[in-house]
């Protein structure tokens, strides 16, 4: 959390001719979202793809699996409009709600001359699996319901 965006800016300074992409959670990016000011003022056109599930998802997953769904302080019910936030800093962006919209959004971001956010709305029920439970033996398995064919 919070490391990816500033790290991406540093990578872009080091490799200005290479595409640089930060894949961020909606919670993570909000810890450092003010760095869009740095990205714009220093002319660092990185792309930030926000996997926007409206939750601190990893913590929520633990509350779901190990605490009988007693969700506490994990819902990000009042997320800002990340595209408007980016635009407010002088960056650009696009919101993606369907997998079929993703390719064009990524191409726009990769070709952008200014920092660019792709606000990708994802299923809040999608967990990060497989995982090893704390102190347990064995693995909780799972399968992502999306496939590349849905592009
Ligand atoms: C700086 C920091 N604070 C807190 C944590 C604990 N933590 C790990 S994952 C997570 C939630 C991440 O939420 P988000 O960025 O929205 O990603 P998601 O899990 O929803 O994909 C938290 C609070 C951390 N790893 N690092
Ligand atoms: Mg999240």
Q: Phi and psi at residue 33, in whole multiples of 5°?
A: -65, -20
Q: Is the peptide bond before 69 cis (omega within 30 degrees of 0)?
A: no
Dump pLDDT digits (tens) for 41-79: 999 999 999 999 999 999 999 999 999 999 999 999 999
Q: Whose CA is nearest to atom 2 of ligand 1?
A: 1
* Number of domains making up the chain: 1
Please give the distance, rounded to the nearest whole angstrom, from the Cα atom of residue 17 to the centre of ligand 1: 30
Report the alpha-carbon angle 85-40-101, nearest 5.
55
Please give the distance, rounded to the nearest whole angstrom, from the Cα atom of residue 24 to the centre of ligand 1: 10
CA–CA separation, 19 and 31 (whole Å): 23
Q: How confident is residue 130, by pLDDT bands cut at 50, 70 and 90?
A: confident
Q: Which of 58, 65, 73, 119 for mutating ligand 1's site (highest number of atoms within 8 Å of CB)?
A: 58
CA–CA separation, 129 and 133 (whole Å): 11
Q: Which pTM value belongs to this model? A: 0.94
Domain of 59, in residue numbers: 4-150
Q: Which atom of ligand 1 is nearest to the CA of 26?
A: 16
Q: Which atom of ligand 1 is nearest to the CA of 29?
A: 15
Q: What is the CATH classification number for the domain harbouring 96?
A: 3.40.50.970
Q: Is 58 in the pocket of ligand 1 (CB under 6 A)?
A: yes
User: Among residues of the chain, what percentage have pLDDT more than 70?
Assistant: 95
């Amino acid at each position: 959390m919070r490391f990816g965006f500033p790290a991406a800016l540093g990578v872009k300074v080091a490799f200005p001719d290479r595409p640089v992409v930060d894949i961020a959670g909606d919670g993570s990016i909000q810890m450092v979202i003010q760095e869009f000011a740095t990205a714009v003022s220093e002319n660092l056109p990185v792309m930030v793809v926000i996997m926007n599930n409206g939750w601190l998802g990893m913590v929520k997953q633990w509350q779901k699996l190990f605490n009988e769904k007693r969700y506490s302080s994990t819902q990000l019910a009042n997320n800002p409009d990340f595209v408007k936030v980016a635009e407010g800093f002088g960056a650009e962006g696009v919101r993606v709600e369907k997998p079929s919209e993703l390719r064009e959004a990524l191409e726009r971001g990769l070709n952008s001359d200014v920092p660019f956010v792709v606000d990708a709305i994802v299923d809040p029920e999608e967990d990060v699996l497989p995982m090893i439970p704390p102190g347990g033996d064995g693995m909780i398995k799972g399968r992502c319901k999306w496939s590349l064919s849905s592009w």
